Structure formats: structure tokens, C-alpha cells
């Protein structure tokens, strides 16, 4: 049997973190099944009332809004990130590669709050975008972009872009270029090569990037809270409001548990739905 003398040292910190996370999740779970006592931090006896209350229109709408927001953000990020990742992997110029890499990854070095405030300056009625549109005569009055789903999605796309570019680039760099060359030698044009060879073979990167962007958006808080201005309700903003404004921790905990379950379920469904595409990629 192979000796692994450092296994214990390597596994222990991860085990410790896992233990802490499990304990925290267990605490959230038990909170979700306790009754709320107005005016007190103490919680009451066990109840399922918190979960039953989640079917009210406001909360059902928040779940629906969140899923929609996640899909739209992941989809727009994919559309914008793919050409960038493609250029990053395929360009022969190291200067262009460095430029794309820096441009794509820089947003990661800014905090979410800083990025969000920057977008507020861009999207405001007197912001950069509206000033430009009005000065160019494209619109007579500023277009309302703040406090809308569109504004929230624009900022979230910026947040998720770096991770999507990195994942797509990893996927694209693993494609065997000989497959594309073989297709070209058989008479396929660039568009056909891309649609029948490159795109299917980059499916693992697309699925990984899309799933990550989806999960990341699901837990986004500062962006929907600040750019949404209370007009775009998501699961994370509701959890904050219920827990930290209303002191109703049991209800906030039940929302967290259902949010987590929903997020896992959607990602599992996504994985299931894209399995044929991944299989196609392996077969190509």
C-alpha cells in the first residue's frame, strides 16, 4: 500500500471547515423550524408555519424572479464572454492575449459593492449612459435603468463575466485543433466548422460556466439590493430584509433553506438537460 504521510495534514483543515459549515447549516435548519416571537430574539417551539408562509405571492414571486434573473444573467454572460474567451485562446499575439486577459479578469479585483456603485453611476438618470443617449439625440428623456431588472442584469453580467471567460477559455483550450483542420480539409467553411466542431466540443466549458454563473447570481446580494432599489425582489434580498430588518430569523432561515434546495435542484436539472450536448461533444 502506498504511504501518504501528508494526507492527514492536507485533509484536516478542509475537514475542519466542513465541520464548521455543517454546524452552521444545521443551526440554520433548526431555526427554520422554530416559531418567531415578536419583540424577542428567542425563538418558540417547533413549527412548519415558516415553510407554509413561503407560498404567499411575494415570496413565490421572489423565487421566480431570482431564477429568471439567474438564467438571463448566465445567458447574457455566455453570449458576451464566448467571443472574448475564443479570442483569448486563439489569438497568436501575446500582447492581445494579455490585454484580453487583463480586461476580462480585472473586475474580479474589485469588490461587489464597488462594482455595483460604479454601475449606479453608469445607469442613473443623470448617469453616463443616459447622458450619452440624450446628447446623441437617441432619446428625448433619460431612460429608467436604475431600479429595474434590466439594470440589475447588466451589473450582474459584469460580475459573472470573468469567471465565465476563464471557464470557457479552459474548455476551448482543450479542443483538439486537428478535428477542426479535418473538417476544413473536407470542405467545411469557418461557420460550419464552428457550429459543428468548436461549439459542441466547448460544451463542457459552457455548462461549467453557465452553472457557476447561475449559482453565483442566485446568491448575489449587493447588486440586486442597491441597483434594484427595493423594486427587484430576490431570495437573498428578502432573507436580508426578514432577518436584519424584521428580526424574523426563523422565517429568514426557512427562505434560506428553500433557496438553497431550489438552487441545487435547478443546477441538477441544468446538468441533466445538457447531458446530451456533453455526450455529443465526447462523441465528436
Binding site for another protein (CB under 8 A): 7-9, 11-13, 15-16, 36, 38-42, 56-58, 61, 117, 120-121, 124-127, 146-147, 225-226, 229-231, 233, 238, 241-248
For residue 174, the minimal CB distance to another protein (Å) is 34
For residue 162, the minimal CB distance to another protein (Å) is 25
Cβ–Cβ < 8 Å for 36, 250: yes
For residue 4, the minimal CB distance to another protein (Å) is 9
Contacts of 245 (CB under 8 A, 6+ apart): none
Give 76 or 147: the residue with its C-beta nearer to another protein.
147
Closest CA to 262 of 51, 58, 74: 51
- DSSP secondary structure of 60-91: HHHHHHHHHHHHHHHHHHHHHHHHHHHHHHH-
Cell numbers representing residue 38 in the block: 415578536
Give 123 or 161: the residue with its C-beta nearer to another protein.
123
For residue 19, the minimal CB distance to another protein (Å) is 9
Give 4 or 135: the residue with its C-beta nearer to another protein.
4
Task: Name the one residue in this structure whose C-alpha cell is 456533453.
Answer: 278
For residue 37, the minimal CB distance to another protein (Å) is 9
Distance CA 182, CA 36 (A): 66
Give 56 or 279: the residue with its C-beta nearer to another protein.
56
Give 42 or 272: the residue with its C-beta nearer to another protein.
42
Cβ–Cβ < 8 Å for 260, 190: no
Amino acid at each position: 500500500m502506498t504511504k501518504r504521510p501528508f494526507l492527514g495534514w492536507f485533509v484536516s483543515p478542509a475537514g475542519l471547515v466542513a465541520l464548521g459549515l455543517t454546524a452552521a447549516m444545521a443551526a440554520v435548519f433548526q431555526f427554520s423550524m422554530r416559531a418567531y416571537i415578536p419583540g424577542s430574539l428567542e425563538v418558540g417551539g417547533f413549527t412548519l408555519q415558516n415553510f407554509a408562509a413561503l407560498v404567499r405571492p411575494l415570496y413565490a414571486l421572489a423565487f421566480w424572479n431570482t431564477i429568471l434573473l439567474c438564467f438571463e444573467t448566465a445567458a447574457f454572460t455566455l453570449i458576451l464572454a464566448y467571443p472574448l474567451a475564443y479570442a483569448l485562446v486563439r489569438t497568436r499575439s501575446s500582447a492581445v492575449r494579455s490585454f484580453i486577459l487583463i480586461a476580462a479578469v480585472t473586475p474580479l479585483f474589485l469588490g461587489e459593492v464597488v462594482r455595483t456603485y460604479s454601475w449606479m453611476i453608469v445607469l442613473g438618470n443623470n448617469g453616463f449612459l443616459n447622458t450619452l443617449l440624450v446628447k446623441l439625440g437617441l432619446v428625448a428623456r433619460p431612460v429608467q435603468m436604475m431600479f429595474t431588472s434590466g439594470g440589475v442584469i447588466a451589473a450582474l453580467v459584469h460580475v459573472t463575466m470573468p469567471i465565465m471567460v476563464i471557464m470557457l477559455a479552459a474548455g476551448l483550450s482543450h479542443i483538439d485543433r486537428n478535428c477542426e483542420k479535418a473538417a476544413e480539409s473536407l470542405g467545411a467553411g469557418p461557420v460550419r466548422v464552428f457550429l459543428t466542431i468548436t461549439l459542441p466540443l466547448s460544451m463542457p466549458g459552457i455548462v461549467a460556466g453557465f452553472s457557476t454563473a447561475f449559482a453565483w447570481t442566485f446568491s448575489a446580494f449587493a447588486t440586486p439590493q442597491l441597483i434594484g432599489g427595493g423594486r427587484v425582489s430576490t431570495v437573498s434580498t428578502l432573507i436580508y430584509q426578514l432577518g436584519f430588518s424584521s428580526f424574523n430569523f426563523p422565517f429568514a432561515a426557512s427562505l434560506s433553506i428553500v433557496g438553497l434546495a431550489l438552487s441545487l435542484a435547478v443546477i441538477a436539472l441544468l446538468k441533466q438537460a445538457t447531458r446530451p450536448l456533453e455526450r455529443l461533444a465526447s462523441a465528436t
